[in-house]
Amino acid sequence: MTTKTGIEVSVAIGEAVRLANADVVAAYPITPQTHIVEHLAELVADGDLAAEYIPVESEHSAMSACLGAAAVGARTFTATAGQGLELMHEVLYVASSMRLPIVMAVANRALSSPISIWGDHSDAMAVRDTGWIQIFTENGQEVIDTVLCAFRIAEDQRVLLPVMFHLDGFHLTHMVEPITFPEKSKVDQFIPPNEYPLPLDPNKPVTMGGFGPPPIYTEVKWAQEIKLREAKEVILQVWQEFGDTFGRYYSPLEGYRSEGSRVLLLTMGSFSETAMAAIDKMKGDGKDVGLINLRLWRPFPFAEIRQAVKDAEVLIVLDRALSFGGPGGPVCSEIRSALYQQERKPKVIGFVGGLGGRDISVAGFEEIVSRGIEISETGSSQEFEIFGVRE
Amino acid sequence: MEKYTVYSPKSITKLMTEEEQLAPGHRACIGCGEALAVRLACKALGNSVIIVNATGCMEVVSSQLPYTSWRVPWIHTLFENTAAVASGIEAGLKIMTKKGKRLPSDVTVVAMAGDGGTSDIGLQALSGALERGHDFIYICLDNEAYMNTGIQRSSATPYGASTTTSPAGKVSIGQITWKKNMPAIAAAHDIPYVATACPSYPFDLMTKVSKAAAIKGPAYLHILSVCPTGWRCPTELTIRIGRLATQTGVFPLYEVEHGKYKLNVDPPKLKLVSDYLKLQGRFRHLSEDAINEIQQRVNEEYAKLKEQVSLKLGSIALAGKDCGV
């Protein structure tokens, strides 16, 4: 019997990592990730999680220690945010390129300067191309379920890639939400022991991380790209099995009252919940608008996106990150590119908003949709518009 | 140490294993002191070891895909994070042994990096790992500049040396700073074992590696690695120059065991520093005044070290006892 518990989402992540029997946690504290690693440290200190907690001296070393732990076959977890993720940047490439199945929570935070501890997706977008599987989460329950699925996906012998999942700093990390924790025995069945195929082991010496001259580098990178793309199949299988076991099903993206809608709004992360409320209100007002919540960011779900928006006339994309001097927010620009060759496609209108922790309310989403529809009819002199800026 | 100055072949007495963990055929330059140091260190370590290598000469010469020179498990990831990767390996092995996920066996975790990877870019990660007390050995292979990228100065480059980024010029002596004292920095972490070594004294080096492996907790070894390419010296002089570094007091061989300093080679009279400098092209521009300045500094540093060695630990009365704390 499982019951809902009111618990802070960050603390719940610690509980999920405990359920998943992590072996090593290496972490450096940074707001708004702190409650996650504090709870993990508590669990280890109380003997409730049999793991080594490495209190490293930086995020660069956090991810580096994770490389080492994963390379000897330990189940490895870390968490970070904003500047911390940026400091890890070069190490992230190594984790994916060396096929080390590390799981990381990112409490999304804006990037300096000016320094901001509050949320947006600038940190996530800056590590878009690091070769990690990336999943955006919408609410506390989804975060917890994603922790469990992440270990299962990362350690799958067909995948062996690191997984980072994003949850909005403060908007999600610091919320107390009703969460159902799966039974330990079922989790143990769902996540089998980590059998890393070629760990560092004196009984069977391997060389990891040799240097790649021009005749080899391209092949290595292409093999990595193929593995990341193929990982999607496994992600879908794991989500299916998770649903069959625990009753909650996930997919690369999901529509909310989107079927047959002329206008679609696309959001990611916790803002999708507010956007749903806005959709309900607009539907009530007789507006023909629905919502797409994009969950799987890497590998990018091309087919699902194309299918989900093909019958719409207008697709309004909200990015919580700026691509300075570029074509718009990173999400909008990828979706435009995914649709460009399609025969049937909606007009794609880009907005950037919710930067550095600024909230977007139900009324805000209504405004975005109205302005988006207006731009689709009259055009705009800008590549994208920024929402709610004071000029 | 003096008894080890002559190589003893196996037929007389087997002082050294013939097993090679670093296979021949690697791409190190002729006369590379670093490759020799690693080879000797590996012989002392044996096979139950995991080596973490920083980016640098050793990584480049031994790991070009699809080949490897390593007969023991070896991992390279980045330049500055070697000590952090070693931390993760040590923690991973520890918990998995505890949980029965792997057979309990004594595996020595060894991190290796050059002087740049240690005293410059990797210093923070090293300090963190030493402070946390991981059970591992950190070996700094000090060839006194960024040799892999073409002889650029590091904080371990000695005063007066001409490198490509500290060139001797009309108004510059070359390197204008004194070599960073990395072993002292390591010792300041109060770790159980710190030592300096040089492959010119092979048995001293191997003894120290074995000792470091046996000690629980972090051990730091600083190995001077003569680099004919970067030091502009004849390749056949590697061993001699290494010995001169010690015999002149430029690079003394010592240990700091639980805070206690011990000189391993203590010649009755130090040779002149100029004997060491004059064999190396990187110092050839130095004036007599500059050489005297270096001689002066070496004398002072050596005297300081001797003072450390003569200190008796535990001779200071504990304040707490007298104060009734």
Boundaries of every domain in chain A:
4-246, 253-386
pLDDT bracket for residue B16 (50, 70, 90)? confident
Smallest CA–CA distance, residue B237 to chain A, in Å, is 30
> Using a CB-CB distance cutoff of 8 angstroms, which residues of chain A are in contact with residue B107?
202
A214 touches chain B (CB under 8 A): no
Q: Does any domain span residue B316?
A: yes
Residue appearing with tokens 């290496």: A26
Q: What is the predicted pLDDT for the residue at B5? A: 42
Query: Is residue A218 within 8 angstroms of chain B, CB to CB?
Result: no
**For residue B9, what pLDDT is reported?**
52
Q: Is the CB of A52 less than 8 angstroms away from the CB of B59? A: no
pLDDT at B15 over 90: no
**With bands split at pLDDT 50, 70 and 90, how would you rate the model's confidence at B6?**
very low
Contact status, residue B142 vs residue B115, Cβ threshold 8 Å: yes
- Identical fold, A4-246 and A253-386: yes
Q: What mean pLDDT, rounded, does chain B reach? A: 93
ipTM: 0.97
Contacts of B98 in chain A (CB under 8 A): 50
Cβ proximity of A372 and A314 under 8 Å: yes
| pLDDT, tens digit, 9 for 90 and up, residues A311-366 | 999 999 999 999 999 988 999 999 999 999 999 999 999 999 999 999 999 999 99
Q: CA-to-CA distance for B148 and B65, rounded, in angstroms?
A: 17
Mutate to test the interface with A, among B95, B97, B98, B135 (most CBs of A within 10 A): B95
User: What are the residue ranges in chain A where pLDDT is below 50?
Assistant: 1
A23 close to B97: Cβ distance less than 8 angstroms: no
pLDDT reported for residue B3: 41
Q: Which residues pair with A296 in a beta bridge?
A: A135
Question: Which residues in B lie closer than 8 A to residue A17 (C-beta atoms)?
Answer: none
CB contact under 8 A, A60 and B75: no
- What backbone torsions phi and psi does residue B246 show, to the nearest 5 degrees? -80, -40
Minimal C-alpha gap between B102 and chain A (Å): 10
Q: Which domain holds residue B310?
A: 21-323
Instruction: Flag whether B145 is in a domain.
Output: yes
Output the domain CATH number for residue B109. Answer: 3.40.50.970
Interface test with A, best of B22, B79, B89, B108 (most A CBs within 10 A): B89
Q: Is residue A73 a contact partner of residue B92, using CB atoms and an 8 Å limit?
A: yes
Domain assignment of residue B173, yes or no: yes
Q: Does the beta-carbon distance from A64 to B78 stay under 8 Å?
A: yes
Q: What is the pLDDT of residue B313?
A: 65
A278 to chain B, any CB pair closer than 8 A? The answer is no
pLDDT per residue as tens digits for the range B39-67: 999 999 999 999 999 999 999 999 999 99
Judging contacts by C-beta atoms under 8 Å, the chain B residues touching residue A41 are none
* CATH 3.40.50.300, applies to A4-246: no
**Nearest CB to B50: which of A23, A50, A200?**
A200
β-pairing verdict for A296-298 and A347-352: unpaired
- pLDDT at position B267, please? 93
Rounded Cα distance, B290 and B283, in Å? 10
Q: Cα separations (Å) of B297 from B179, B276, B301, B303? A: 11, 14, 6, 10
Dist CA B68 CA B79 (whole Å): 19
DSSP-assigned states of every residue in B177-245? SPPP-HHHHHHTTT-SEEEEE-TTSHHHHHHHHHHHHHSSS-EEEEEE---HHHHT--GGGHHHHHHHH
* Alpha-carbon span A355 to A278, nearest angstrom: 19
Predicted confidence at residue B8, as pLDDT, reads 53
Question: How many helices and strands (H and E) does chain B possess?
Answer: 12, 8
Q: CB B78 to CB A91 under 8 A?
A: yes
Q: Cβ of A193 and B101 within 8 Å?
A: yes
CA B121, CA A123: separation in Å to the nearest integer?
Answer: 24
- Give the CATH number of domain A253-386: 3.40.50.920
Q: How many beta-carbon pairs below 8 A join chains A and B?
A: 171
Q: Are A136 and A166 in contact (CB under 8 A)?
A: yes
Domain count, chain B: 1
Minimum Cα–Cα distance from B73: chain A residue: A205
Chain B residue with minimum CA distance to A211: B64
Contacts of A266 (CB under 8 A, 6+ apart): A291, A292, A293, A294, A309, A315, A316, A317, A318, A331, A335
Chain A environment of B67 (Cβ under 8 Å) = 210
Lookup: tokens for B247: 């015999």
Position A391 scores a pLDDT of 86
**Please, which pLDDT band fits residue B201 given cuts at 50, 70 and 90?**
very high
Pick B63's closest partner by Cβ from A51, A193, A211: A211
Give the chain B residue nearest A212 (alpha carbons).
Answer: B65
Residue at token pair 């070393």: A61
> Is the Cβ pair B87, A54 closer than 8 Å?
yes
pTM strictly above 0.90: yes
Q: pLDDT band for B103, please (50, 70, 90 cuts).
A: confident
Q: Does B9 fall in a domain?
A: no
Tell me whether the omega of the peptide bond preceding residue A185 falls within 30 degrees of 0, making it cis: no
- The answer on pLDDT for B322 being more than 60 is no
> A219 in contact with B at a CB cutoff of 8 Å?
no
Longest dimension (CA), chain B: 67
Token match 């092995």: residue?
B93
Q: What is the pLDDT of residue B2?
A: 37
Distances (CA, A) of A43 to A53, A189, A297, B266, B273: 10, 22, 31, 52, 58
CA distances (Å), origin A38, targets A35, A110, A183, A189: 5, 21, 23, 27
Which chain A residues are within 8 Å of B85, Cβ to Cβ?
A: 64-65, 67-68, 71
